[in-house]
Structure formats: C-alpha cells, structure tokens
Structure 1
Amino acid sequence: MLSAHCVSTTSGVILDVDRAFCTLVQRNERSLIGASYKTITLPDDIAKSSKMLRSMTARGAPSTLQKRYRRPDGTVAHASLLVTMARERDRLLATVTWERCPAEDASPFGLWRAALRLQRLYETRRQEFGEELFGDHLGVILLEVYLAEAEGRIATQATISNAASVSAPMVGRWIKVLCQYGLLQADRDLTDVIHLSHAGLMKIERTLRAFDGEPAQGMITLPREM
C-alpha cells in the first residue's frame, strides 16, 4: 500500500502536494499547484468529489472517498482518500492511498523510476559508508548506461566516470569486463558511445523489478573484484 498527501482549499484548488502524489497522478508539482481537482479527476468521479467537498464545508467532519485520477498517458489510478479539515477552516488535507500496480512497475516509466531510486540508494551508501566500503562499481556503471539510454543521453567512458564518480581508468576496465560478459557494447579503445547489449538490458530490467519488490530470475552476477 502506497500513500501520498495533498492540501487544497474547500473549493478544490490544490495548494500543496508531496512527491508521492506527483508520482500517483504522473504530473509535476508546478502543474498541480493552483489547479482544480477536476483537472486530474476522472470525469465520472467529479460529481461525488464535489459532493464530498460540500459536505466537508458544511460539517467539518473527516470524510472518505474512493476515486479515480486520470493521468496524462491515458491510464487511470484508483485511490482511497481520507480528507480532514485543517485548522484553517478553508484548508483540506487529503491522505491518499493506493495499491501498487504490477503493470505500471513493468512499464518503461516504472523501470526508470526504479532506476532513479536505485541511483539514490547508491549515492546514500557512498555518503554514509565512504568510498572504501562502497565497492559496487559494476552496478553503478551499468545503471548509468541504462539511465543515459532511458533519458536520451550519450554514454561514454568520460560521462560514466563523471556521473558515477569513478575514475576513468577503473570505468574503462569494468567496461571491458562487461563487454566480455556480453552486457555492454563498446569499441576496443572505448572512444565511441557505449550501449547496453540486449542481454544487459534484460538483466538490468529484471534487477530493477526485483529492487522494486518483484521476484526475478537471471539477475546480474559477476566477480566483485578485478
């Protein structure tokens, strides 16, 4: 079960949202602040949402609601709301909960989000434990190539070294090993663009699904030291 929060006026104008809410409706914070709830609510659910707002204004008691949000890609998110009146009588706080959808996790967008979460985990591990205890340069390099391709960027030895905070010589050695294992594609002197192979892409995606809580087979297993 996932949860998010949204603050709005009693007329339904959105004042504040957290990152989880942005993820749920697949919109950024800037596009949500100042917008009406009607712009993100499935048309069939607008009437009951309006009724709930009128009830909250009249009684001030907490209310619950099952509703559906429409996303920019045409998909629909089903959610449960617990709405309470804030101390300021014209402010409503909605706690939104929903079930994770396996189909969304398996989509390119879901895998990209999982890759960003894994990247943040790597960065946190580095900060907390230091470079000497980090040791997962293989994962960092593969993840950076994956993110570069997902975001339309070019991955080279230099860009990977800079993004992964790993020395260029070490990146070069790992790239050659990963090419030998059939996970990356690169020219011999590493001067051209570096790509994931089909096998590398499949293994990265299975790893990301497992990181997001799904069981997976065929994950990446390579020697930890060179």
Structure 2
Amino acid sequence: MKRKLLALAIIAISLSSCSDKWEYAEGMEPETGENQNGNGSGNGNGSGTETTYDYQPMTIGSKWIYTGDYNYIVESTSEDKVIDGISYHSFTNSFMNNTFYSAIKDGVYYVNGNSSIEASQLDFPAAPMMYLKDNVALNTSWSSKVKISPADSPIELSATYQYTLKEKGISFKIDKVTYPDVIHVDMTMTLPGSSTPVCTGSYYYAKKIGFIYSKVTMNGQTNTIKLASYEIKP
C-alpha cells in the first residue's frame, strides 16, 4: 500500500511507485532543464484571480519528458471523453504504461484514471481528483477523497488529499532553466482516523507548459520529479 499511496500522491502526470529506474536509450538522453522549443518559458502575468486554463496544455502530440527519482514520458493523445458532465482529454504515461485523463473547468484542474501498478496488488478505481485551481486566492485550500482499498475488499478505505495554493506568478528554477509564471501547490494526504499526514508534497506548474516539478515525502522517503524537456504542439 505504501507504494500505491506514493504513486497517487505524485499526482497530475507525475506518477511513480517502484524503485527501478527507467533509462534512456543511447543518444536519446534529454538535456536536463532544456526544452525542445528553446525558450523554457511561458507567458502571462499570473496575477489576480483570472481564470487562465493553461497550466496543462492538451494539444494532441504534446510531450513532456521527466527525470529525477523516476524517469518517464507523458504524451497527449487523441481521445476525449465526458465524465460527470466534464470533458476530459487523454494522456499516456510511459512509466505506468497506461492512459489517464485530464480536464479543466472553471479554473479547476482534474485528473481521472486508473493509476494501478500490477506489482502493488492494489487497484485505484477511476475517479476525478481536483489537483489544481488557477483562479483562487493564495492560501485557498480544497480536498479530494480517493478510494484506496482493493475492489474485492469488504472494508472501504479512502485517502483524503488536501491541496493549498501557496504561490502564484513566481519564477522557479530547475537546473539551467528558470520558468516564469509558476503556480506552487502544497499537498497533504491523511487516512481515516488520523489527522497526521502520511504523505506531504509540493507541486509546481508553469503557465503554457504544465507540471514541472514535485517533491513528495512519505514515511521518511522523499522523491523528486522535474521536467527535463517538452514540446507543446500548437
């Protein structure tokens, strides 16, 4: 369960769970901190409570390469589907070898998809999770509950993820690149019967680019994920 909770904790396209490191083929290694557009930046002022809708680009063929404690590629694909009245767009994750869905509505960003890993023997059902709000005031908090018990378990167990918008419109440096207009969100995860977080994390999203960095700690183990390169299709 520890693996699975950590996998879901690194939410919004930064999924992880096992200790094996994925390696690039020779000659395909990204130059950490650089991007295929050559500018490493987004646009906009990140001020006020204006709804911007663009901290997660969804154009087909857009691609993000991540490194850190886990290495993987996320790519925007061509499938769209409506879930609970909200239009979702599909993405693939090379680490999980799965498809998940993301949506944006009224400044709220959702992720929906099964992030199960065969080795964990646990299976999270597909259910929407609110992981970002781009149009709220600083220190605004929101929460999502996610079922974490196996489908055949007689006991239903849910984890509560609470997110807080800590910073907006900041600059954030990853290796050689400084990304402007970044949103910083903190997360805590708790289980029923306890107010003590079993997992904490910080996530950073750049305007016009998407998820760029996370640092998640659980049971004394800290993992970081960072954007190495990206290509946003028009």
Structure having the higher strand fraction is 2
TM-score, normalised by the number of residues in structure 1: 0.25
Instruction: Identify which of structures 1 and 2 has the higher relative contact order when contacts are C-alpha pairs closer than 8 Å and 6+ apart.
Output: 2
